[in-house]
Structure 1
Amino acid sequence: MRREEALSPGKSAFVSSPAGSGKTQLLAERYVKLLEENLKNKKLQEYSKEFAGKALTTENILSITFTRKAAFEMRERVFELLLTSKSEKLRKIGQELLEHPERIRISTIHSFCHSLLRRFSLEASLDPEFDIIGERAGEELSLEAIDTAIRDAIEGDIGVRKDLQAFLTRLPLRKLIENVSSITKKLPITDPTFAAWQGKGNQIYFEIFKLTVDILKRNKTEEGRLEYHDLEVETLKLLRENPQWLNILYAFNSQIQHILVDEFQDTNFYQWRIIYALIEDWVSGSGIKDELLANPTLFLVGDEKQSIYLFRGADVQLFREAKRIMEESFGREGRYVYYRPEENYRSLDALINFANSLFQKVMSGSEEDNLRTSYTQFKKGRKDTRKGEVGILLYRSLAKMGAEESREMDAEIMGGKIQSIVGERSVFDKEKGKCVPCQWKDIAILLRDRTSLPQIEKVLKRRSIPYVIIGGKGLFEVPEVRLLYAILKFLADPTDDLSFLSLLLSPCSHLSTSGVSLIARAPGFTLLNRFEATRLSGKEEKVRRKLLSLIASWRKIAFRSSTVEVLEKVLMDLAIWNIYSSEEEVANIQKLLSMVQALDSEGLTLWDIAGHIAQFSQTGDEEKGQIEVEGTNAVNVLTIHGAKGLEFPVVFISRIHEVSRDKRTGVFIDEAGEYVSVACSEGKKEEGAEIERMREIYN
C-alpha cells in the first residue's frame, strides 16, 4: 500500500530505500506515472501547446542522479516500461522518445548544473564556451594558485614569513598544500569550520586559503575553465546571489514541475542547496504551478546506511534535514509519503539473515542521533528457493608473520577457494533466467584498500586465475609504465643515470646483468658516456650497438616530433608490445600515451611533459588503464567503495580481521549475490567460540 502511495503522481515522497530493494525500478515507475499524469492534465496540455507549440510528455520532469551509470540504467528502465506497456499510447510515446532521447531529462547533478550555467552564462558572468577540466588539471591549477598565494603572502609582509615558518613547524608544506587543495573542493568559505580554525591560532592558514581561492578563481575565469565542483558552486551562486535569481528561478519553474533525485544520501552541501533553491517556492506554496493546477512534486530516494562518500563532501545529516523539510512542507497539505521498503530482491536467505543479525547490533542509532544510523530488517523479495551461503575462511596467523606475508596468505586461501568454486557451483544467470555453472566473471574480490593488491595479483597469476582490476590505481607503479617513464626522463635529460639504468636493466634492452654491471663500472662522467665507450663481448656487443643506434635516433627526434610520436617509436623499436602484451599491460601503456598526447596538444615540449608526468607520479593515485570488462571471463578485483551499486553472484572480502585494531575477527555482508567468503585471521579462544556460533547459525 505504501508503495502505491509513493508512486502517486500527486504526492511528494521520501523513500529510504535499502540496497537491493528495487529503487531503480521504483524511480522508473514514478517517472512513467508522472508522464501519464501529464497526458491527463488538459490545462497543462493546453498551456504547453499555446506556449511551446506541442503537447507535453516528459519536458516538465527532471531526474537527477549522481553517476552516469545510474542515469543510463534509469533511462533504460523507463524505455523498457514504456515500450512494453499495455497502453498503446505509452508505447507510441516510447517510440517517439527513442527518436528524441534528449527529451528525457535524466542526468547527473553535474550535467544539470552544466546545462543551467550554459543557458544563463551571461547572468553568471561566465564565458559561454567555458571548458570543464578533469581532476588532474584542476590539481595543477590549485597547486599553482597555492604557490602564488604563499609567495604573495611572504612578499607582502615580512611578519607573515615568520608566522608561516612557525606554522610549518607544525604542518609540513606538502600537507598544507594537500589540505588547502582538498578544502577548496568541499566547503564554502562561510563554513563555521574556518572560523574554528582561526580561533585555534591558524590565522596564517586561513589567510593563505582565502588568497588561494581568489587567485584560483581569477585564473579559471581568465582561462574560461571550470572544475566539476565549480559547477555546483557557480550554480548555487546563480540561484542565490545573482541579481537576476528570481527571473532565473521563474524560468526554471515555468518548465519543471517534478523533480526526482536518486542516491540522495550521497548529496553534499552545495548539491542539496541547489535542489532546495529549485523547490523553495514549492514548499512555500507559491509559483506558476498553482496557475497551472499541477501540483509540484519532489521524489527523493536514498539510504543513509549507504552514505560512504564523506571524503567527497557527502553529509548524511542532509538526508535527515531533507526528510524533515518535506514532512513540514508537503505533509501539511496531505501530499507527502514516507516509504521504507523492507523487501530485498537481490539476495538469498542466508545473506539476508546474516545481515539482519549483524547490522541490527551494529546500527543501533535513532532519529535523534545524528552520528549513528538505525537498521530495519530485510525480508526476502526474490522468488528463489535456494538458500545461498555465507562462508568464513579461517587461518591461523603466525606470531612472526609480517603484514605482507599475512596478506599473501589471505590471497592464497581465497585463490584456492575460487578455484574450487568455478565450474563446481551454480549461480543464477539473470539473462537466461536459470542456474548455470559458476565462471570466473561471476566472482568479485573486494578490497578495503589497495595495499594488498600486489599480493592478490601475485597469487592469481601463480594460480593462472584470469582477473581484471576495476578502477585500480598506481599507474606509475607498474613495470611497463615505469620503463616508458624512465625512457622519457632519460631523453629529456641524458645525464639522468638512474633512468638510463632502468632501461639497461629492463628485458627490452636484451643485455645481461653482468654486461650492465661492466658498463656501470667503466670510467666516464655519465652512464651514457660509459655505455658509448664500453665494448662488450660476443653477441652482447651487437645488442649494445643496436641499442646505441636506437637511442641516437630517439634523441634526434626528441625535440622535433611530438612526444607521443617519440614514445610510439620507442615502443616499436624495442618491441615493448611483445614483452608487455597482456590486456592490462596494453591498457596501461595506452593510457600513458593518451596522457602524453593530451599534454602534446597543449604545445608542451618533451622536457615539460616529463616534468608534468613527474608530478602525476608523485601522488600515486593515478588510475590504471581500463580494459573492456563486459564479456571478459575473469575474476573482478575492486575496492569496496568501487563496488557500490554493482552485483556479483560470488563475493570475497579480504583482510576482514584488519577492520578493527582491538578485535581480531570480523564479518562483512555482501549486498549482491549468493555467497560471501571472508579471509580472516583466527583470534583468541573466546572469539573462536563466537565464530563457531556464527557457523551454526549461518552455515
Structure 2
Amino acid sequence: MLQPNDFKIYNASAGAGKTYTLVKEYLSILLSSKNPFAFESILAITFTNKAANEMKERILEQLQKFSQNNFTENQDLQMLSNELDLAPEIIHQRSKEMLTKILHNYSRFSVSTIDKFNLRLMKSFAQDLGLSSNFNVEMELDTLLEDSVNQLFSKIGEDETLTSVLIEIAIDNLNENRSWDITRELIQNAKTLYSDTHLVKLANLQKFNLEEFNEFRKTVYRNVSTQKNKLIEIGKKAFQILETNQISADDFSYGNSGFIGFFNKLQNENFEFPGSRHLAFKSNTDPKKWCSGKASSIAKNTIEQIAPELISLSDEAVEILRELAVWQGIQRTITSLSIINEVEKSIETIKEDNNVLLISEFNKLISANLQKQPSGFIYERIGNRFHHYFIDEFQDTSTLQWQNLLPLVENARASSDTVMLVGDAKQSIYRWRGGNPEQMVDLINRKDELDILVENLPRNWRSHRNIIEFNNEFYTKIAESLNEDYRNLYAEGNQQLSNHKEGGFVQLNFIAKKGETEDYNYDEEVLGQLLKNLNSAQEQGFQLGEIAILHRTKAEGKKIAEFLSEKQIPIISSESLLLSNSPEIQLIELFFKTISNEEDKVSLAEFLIQLNELKNHPFVDITEKIKPVLERKQSLKNFLKEIEIDISFAFSPSVSLYDFTEKTIKAFDLSQNETAYLQYFLDYVLEYSMQNEYNLQRFLEHWDLQKEKLSISSPEGVDAVQLMTIHKSKGLEFPVVMIPFASWGDRVKVDKFWIPIQKEELPFEEFIMDSFGNLEEVSNEIKEIIDKERNEFLIDNLNLLYVATTRAVEQLYIITPKDAKNGVAVYFNEEFSGEDEIILKGQKGRISQPKTSENLTETLPFVVENWENRIQISKESSKRWKKKKEIVYGDLVHGLMEFIYTEKDVEPVLKKALNAGEIRQEEIPGMKKLMLEIIHHPDLATYFSDEFKILNERDFIDDLGEIIRPDRIALKENQCTIIDYKTGGKQEKHVQQINHYARSLEKMGYWVHTKLLVYIGEEIVVRKVG
C-alpha cells in the first residue's frame, strides 16, 4: 500500500494483474480517508479510453460491492480492512458515502486518458495561450494535412515565390528519377510537425523562410552534384594511371571484382563505399599480392610503383563518399522540408477558420507555455488540488508527455503526496507514435538514486502453467543476446510464477520459405497449416469465438481474412467492422454522390446496381433496366417510384444533414439490417453536422478521407474467429491464440532520425534523415546513432512478439519460417530445431469448461421516423412567442455567454451554435448585438478583457456539499468578481443566490470584491449587490 511521499513503480509483466493492482491502490487511498470527497484529490491517467473506462468500472464496481449488505463476505474488503487497519464496517460505510459522492459529482472523478487530461489543461489555460475558449478538438491529423497541402497547391500561379519553388522541386525530382508529385511526401514530412519525438529539433529548422530554405535546397543539390563529379574524376584518374603505365584491370587480382573494381564503379557513377576485397588489398603492405597470377613481371613491378598513388586516390574517394553520404541524406528530406513552413501556415489558417485545435499538438502547447508557470499555479487553475497520482501504461509515455507531467511529480514529492507508475517496458509497442520505454527502464535503474520503490508483480493470473513456462524459458534465453538494460528486463521479467491453472498447450510449426517445385507458395503453406490448427482447436471443443488470430500487418490480415472466408469460416476483423464495408452505408454514400452531382453517371450506375443487390434483385437484367436513367430519358425519382421508393425529400430543403440521412435510411428501408453500422454512421453525421455547415459535397469529401478509419465495436457473443493486429490485441486475452506469420522484423524499417552535420554552407547543427544509406561509414558518432536506431527496431519487434505470445490463456499456436536468418523468426530457429511441427509444451485437449451462458441481450429494432412525426408543437408555445423579442434573445444569449471569455469569442460561438442547430441564421444579428452590449457595458467591459482570468459555469462545492455554479467569475490575483446573468424581472432570490456564491467562495480563500447581477432584456441592466 502507498505511504505518504511514496514514489512507486509497479513493473507488471503480461497477465500480472496490473489493473487489479491499480484499483486496489486507488481504493486503499480513497477508503483510508474520512473525507467522502477524497476522490477529488486523486488523478489517474492512462493512454486509451478502453483502459480508462475499465479502471472506472472496476473502482465503481468494487465500491458498489463493498456497499452491499453482505459486505462481510467480500474477500477484497477483508484484505483492505487488514491493510488499512480499519474495521470492515467503517470501509462499508465509507464505500457507500463515496460511491454516492462520485456518482453525484462524476466530472470530478479524475480517471481519464492523458489526452482528456491535457484537454482539461488547455481549456483552463485557453486565455493564456491566446486560444478561443470554444475551440473544437480535431482528432484526425491526416485530414487536416490533406486539406492544407491542397490549399497550398491551390496557390500555384498566384504566389510567385511558392510557384517557382514547387516547379524547381518537381524538376529536381524528375532529374533524380523521383516522382514530381510531392503530395504524399509533403504530408508524411508535415506529420513530424506534430510528433513529440521531433518537436524540439524541428523548431530549429522552422526559423527559416521559404526563400532561405530554397537556397539551402539548391546548395544541397549543388554539393551532391559536385561530390559525384569529383568521384567520377577519381575513378577516371585511376584508370588513366593504369593506361599511362600500360597495365589493365586484368593485371590486378580478381580484376574488376578486386581492388581496382572500386575505381571502375566510380567512373561508372556507382558511388558505393569500397568493398571488403578492396580494403583487404589496401591494407596489405605487399603490393605484389595485388597482382593476378597472369600478370607479367613488368606489370607486377609497375603495380608496386603506382600502389601509393592508387591508395591515395582511394583515401581521397572515401573522404568524398563520406561527404556525399551526408549531402544525399539531407537531399532526401530537404525537398519537402523546404516548404514545411508554408504547409504549417496553411494548417494554421484552416485551424483558425474552423476554430479547431489538433489533439496531437496538446503536448507541444503545454510544454511550450505551461511549464513556465509554477506547478501549484497550474493545477490550482484546473479546479482541483491533487495529492495522489497514478500513471498507467507508463512505457507508452512520450518524452514530452513525461516532461509535462514532471511538475506534478516534483510537486507531489515536495508535498509528501504519492506517485505510482505502472507499466512494462517489454510491452512497449508504440514507439512510432512517441512512446519511450527507455524512460521507464532508466527510472528503474536509478531507483536508489531517486528514492523510488520498484515492485515486480510476480504472478501471471492469465495463462495456464505450460504457456507461462514456455514464455519464461523462451524470453529468458533471448535475453542473453540483448543489451544490458533489456537483458535484465527480459531476464527478470520472465520469472513469472504460475497460478492455479494447470496444463496448457504450445505448438510451433516451421514452414520452408522455398519448396522443391515452382508452384510452391509460402503464404499458401502457412494458411494451410493455420486451417489445420483451427480445425484441431475446434475438435478439442473450442468455439470459433474463443480463438484469436494475431497478425503484424494489414496485408497479412487481408490474406488471412480472404482465405478463411473462402473456407466458409466466420471471422470478425477490423476490415469487416469498417463502416465503409457495410452494403447499406455504401448505398447511402452512392445516393449522396448521385444527388450532389447530377453529372456523376458512374456513381449513379453503382448506386442502382447496389440497390438492386440489396433489394434481392427485383430487376433480372439490371444493365438494360437502368440504361434510360443513365441516358437521362427517365428521371431517377420516377425510376425509383416504380419500385415504391419515394425520394421526393431529396429535392426539398432538409433541416440538416442528419435529417437528410434519416430520410434516406427510411426511404430505402435500410433499417432492417446492419443496425449497428447505421447507428454509428448517424452518430458520425451528427458529430460532423455540429462542427460544419450543411453541405452534402463537403461532407462526402470529409467522409472519403475518414471512411477507412471508422469502424463499429466488435460485437459480443458472436461465434467467429477474431482476427486482429498485435497492437489491437494488447491488454486482451483469448482462450486460444494463433500467430501464423511470426516472421516480422526481417528488414530494418527506420523512422526519421537526426544526425549532426557540420557544413559551412548550411546553418544547421543537425538534420533529419529518413534512411541509413551509407551514413554508417561517415563517422563513429553517426554509426552509434544508427546502431541505436537498429537496436530500438530489434527491441520493438521483440516486444511485439512478447505481446503476441502472452495473450493466450490455454493454447498457443505459432507458425514461423524455417531457417530464417533475420527478424523474430530467428529466435525460434535458434532455440528450436528438428521436426517441422514441435509440441513445445503440454498435450492437446481442452482443460477449461466451455462457457454456456445464456444470451440475455435483446436486439431492439432500429426505428427511423421523420422528426416532424416525432415532435408535436406545444399549444403553450404561443406564450413564448408573445414574449418580447429581446427576452427571447435574452434566454438564448444567457446560454451562449457560458462560452464567452472575451469579445473575440462571439463570432466562433455563434457559428458553432448555428451549425449545431441551436439558433437560426436570421437570429444571429440580434444575438450578436445583445452579446456585444453586455461585453461593452460600462460596468462589465473590464471583466471581458485579458486582464482577468475567467471561470465560466464552473462547478464548486459549498460547505454543505452541494454544487454551486456561478455564471462568471473574474479572477485577479486572489480577488474575484461574481457575475450572474438573469432574464425577466428583478427578484430578491437573485440577491440571496449571488450572496451564497460569495460566502462559499470566501470560505475557499477568495476575496469577493464585487457581485454583479446582469438583467438581459430590452436593455442591459447591471445591479451591483452590496
**Fold-level match, TM-score > 0.5?**
yes
**Candidates 610, 617, 623, aligned match of 2:710:** 623
- CA-to-aligned-CA distance 1:341-382 (integer Å, 9 cap, x gap): 332221122111221232224344667558996442534544
| CA distance in structure 2 between the aligned counterparts of 1:502 and 1:311, rounded to whole angstroms | 39
| CA distance in structure 2 between the aligned counterparts of 1:529 and 1:648, rounded to whole angstroms | 55
| CA distance in structure 2 between the aligned counterparts of 1:97 and 1:156, rounded to whole angstroms | 66
- Residue identity opposite 1:68 in structure 2: N
Counterpart for residue 484 of structure 1: 588
| CA distance in structure 2 between the aligned counterparts of 1:270 and 1:219, rounded to whole angstroms | 25
Question: Higher mean Cα deviation, 295-304 or 156-165?
Answer: 156-165
Displacement, 1:671? 3.1
> Do the aligned partners of residues 322 and 383 (structure 1) sit closer, same or farther apart at CA in structure 2, a change above 3 Å counting?
closer
| CA distance in structure 1 between the aligned counterparts of 2:58 and 2:604, rounded to whole angstroms | 55
Matches within 5 A, 1:267-282: 267-281=397-411
- CA-to-aligned-CA distance 1:134-183 (integer Å, 9 cap, x gap): 32xx4333333334455669815265334433565546423224314422
Counterpart for residue 311 of structure 1: 432
Displacement, 1:97? 1.9
Secondary structure in 1 matching 2:468: helix
Counterpart for residue 231 of structure 1: 362
Residue 587, structure 1, aligned to residue 718, structure 2: no
Residue 641, structure 1, aligned to residue 644, structure 2: no
Counterpart for residue 292 of structure 1: none
| CA distance in structure 2 between the aligned counterparts of 1:572 and 1:180, rounded to whole angstroms | 44
Task: Determine if contact 1:505/1:513 at 8 Å carries over to the other structure.
Answer: no
Counterpart for residue 611 of structure 1: 701
- CA-to-aligned-CA distance 1:49-106 (integer Å, 9 cap, x gap): xxxxx67633333221112222233334445665252432222222122112235432
- CA-to-aligned-CA distance 1:253-311 (integer Å, 9 cap, x gap): 9922322211001101321111112223456x5xxx2xxxxx13322111111110122
> Do the aligned partners of residues 115 and 377 (structure 1) sit closer, same or farther apart at CA in structure 2, a change above 3 Å counting?
closer
Residue 60, structure 1, aligned to residue 41, structure 2: yes
> Do the aligned partners of residues 499 and 151 (structure 1) sit closer, same or farther apart at CA in structure 2, a change above 3 Å counting?
closer
- CA-to-aligned-CA distance 1:311-347 (integer Å, 9 cap, x gap): 2211222323444676433x2xxxx312233322211
Secondary structure in 1 matching 2:729: coil
- Residue identity opposite 1:63 in structure 2: A
Displacement, 1:210? 2.8
Counterpart for residue 528 of structure 1: 630
- Residue identity opposite 1:297 in structure 2: T
Matches within 5 A, 1:653-664: 653-657=739-743, 660=746
**Candidates 5, 8, 22, aligned match of 2:17:** 22
Task: Determine if contact 2:459/2:499 at 8 Å carries over to the other structure.
Answer: no
| CA distance in structure 2 between the aligned counterparts of 1:552 and 1:250, rounded to whole angstroms | 60
Residue 417, structure 1, aligned to residue 560, structure 2: no
- Residue identity opposite 1:341 in structure 2: L
- Residue identity opposite 2:388 in structure 1: H
Counterpart for residue 359 of structure 1: 475
| CA distance in structure 1 between the aligned counterparts of 2:724 and 2:380, rounded to whole angstroms | 45
Displacement, 1:418? 4.3
| CA distance in structure 2 between the aligned counterparts of 1:130 and 1:394, rounded to whole angstroms | 55
**Candidates 530, 545, 549, aligned match of 1:445:** 549
Matches within 5 A, 1:167-186: 169=174, 170=178, 172-186=181-195
Task: Determine if contact 1:347/1:672 at 8 Å carries over to the other structure.
Answer: yes
Displacement, 1:647? 1.5
Matches within 5 A, 1:33-112: 33-35=28-30, 57-79=38-60, 83=66, 84=74, 85-86=77-78, 87-101=88-102, 102=106, 103-112=108-117
**Candidates 833, 840, 847, aligned match of 1:690:** 833
**Candidates 499, 502, 505, aligned match of 1:386:** 502
> Do the aligned partners of residues 572 and 219 (structure 1) sit closer, same or farther apart at CA in structure 2, a change above 3 Å counting?
closer
Displacement, 1:643? 0.9
Counterpart for residue 392 of structure 2: 262
**Candidates 731, 738, 748, aligned match of 1:652:** 738
> Do the aligned partners of residues 669 and 140 (structure 1) sit closer, same or farther apart at CA in structure 2, a change above 3 Å counting?
closer
Secondary structure in 1 matching 2:395: helix
Displacement, 1:528? 0.9
Residue 247, structure 1, aligned to residue 248, structure 2: no
Question: Higher mean Cα deviation, 124-133 or 470-479?
Answer: 470-479
Structure with greater Cα Rg: 2
Displacement, 1:652? 1.9
Counterpart for residue 46 of structure 1: none
| CA distance in structure 2 between the aligned counterparts of 1:460 and 1:325, rounded to whole angstroms | 50
Displacement, 1:19? 1.0
Secondary structure in 2 matching 1:314: coil
> Do the aligned partners of residues 443 and 509 (structure 1) sit closer, same or farther apart at CA in structure 2, a change above 3 Å counting?
closer
Task: Determine if contact 1:342/1:376 at 8 Å carries over to the other structure.
Answer: no
Counterpart for residue 144 of structure 2: 141
Secondary structure in 1 matching 2:134: coil
Query: Higher relative contact order by CA 8 Å / sep ≥ 6: 1 or 2?
Result: 1
| CA distance in structure 2 between the aligned counterparts of 1:488 and 1:544, rounded to whole angstroms | 14
Secondary structure in 2 matching 1:107: strand
> Do the aligned partners of residues 517 and 27 (structure 1) sit closer, same or farther apart at CA in structure 2, a change above 3 Å counting?
closer
Residue 302, structure 1, aligned to residue 423, structure 2: yes
> Do the aligned partners of residues 89 and 226 (structure 1) sit closer, same or farther apart at CA in structure 2, a change above 3 Å counting?
farther
Task: Determine if contact 1:532/1:548 at 8 Å carries over to the other structure.
Answer: no
| CA distance in structure 1 between the aligned counterparts of 2:202 and 2:479, rounded to whole angstroms | 28
Q: Which runs of 5+ in 2 are unaligned?
A: 67-73, 79-87, 207-215, 217-326, 749-800, 821-827, 843-1026
> Do the aligned partners of residues 97 and 692 (structure 1) sit closer, same or farther apart at CA in structure 2, a change above 3 Å counting?
farther
- CA-to-aligned-CA distance 1:443-475 (integer Å, 9 cap, x gap): 222232333445544565566655433586654
Residue 155, structure 1, aligned to residue 159, structure 2: yes
Q: Which runs of 5+ in 1 are unaligned?
A: 40-53, 290-294, 425-437, 534-542
- CA-to-aligned-CA distance 1:7-29 (integer Å, 9 cap, x gap): 44442112222111122222223
Displacement, 1:646? 0.9
Secondary structure in 2 matching 1:63: strand
> Do the aligned partners of residues 272 and 683 (structure 1) sit closer, same or farther apart at CA in structure 2, a change above 3 Å counting?
same
| CA distance in structure 2 between the aligned counterparts of 1:395 and 1:419, rounded to whole angstroms | 22
- Residue identity opposite 1:183 in structure 2: T
Matches within 5 A, 1:183-202: 183-187=192-196, 190-192=199-201, 200-201=330-331, 202=333
> Do the aligned partners of residues 599 and 301 (structure 1) sit closer, same or farther apart at CA in structure 2, a change above 3 Å counting?
closer
> Do the aligned partners of residues 419 and 302 (structure 1) sit closer, same or farther apart at CA in structure 2, a change above 3 Å counting?
same
- Residue identity opposite 1:485 in structure 2: E
> Do the aligned partners of residues 586 and 35 (structure 1) sit closer, same or farther apart at CA in structure 2, a change above 3 Å counting?
closer
> Do the aligned partners of residues 415 and 320 (structure 1) sit closer, same or farther apart at CA in structure 2, a change above 3 Å counting?
closer
TM-score of the superposed pair, with normalisation by structure 1: 0.76
- Residue identity opposite 1:155 in structure 2: D
- Residue identity opposite 2:589 in structure 1: Y
Task: Determine if contact 2:475/2:491 at 8 Å carries over to the other structure.
Answer: yes
| CA distance in structure 2 between the aligned counterparts of 1:188 and 1:682, rounded to whole angstroms | 37
Task: Determine if contact 1:264/1:319 at 8 Å carries over to the other structure.
Answer: yes
Count of aligned positions: 623
Displacement, 1:214? 4.3
Secondary structure in 2 matching 1:353: helix
Task: Determine if contact 1:66/1:263 at 8 Å carries over to the other structure.
Answer: yes
| CA distance in structure 1 between the aligned counterparts of 2:682 and 2:603, rounded to whole angstroms | 19
RMSD: 4.3
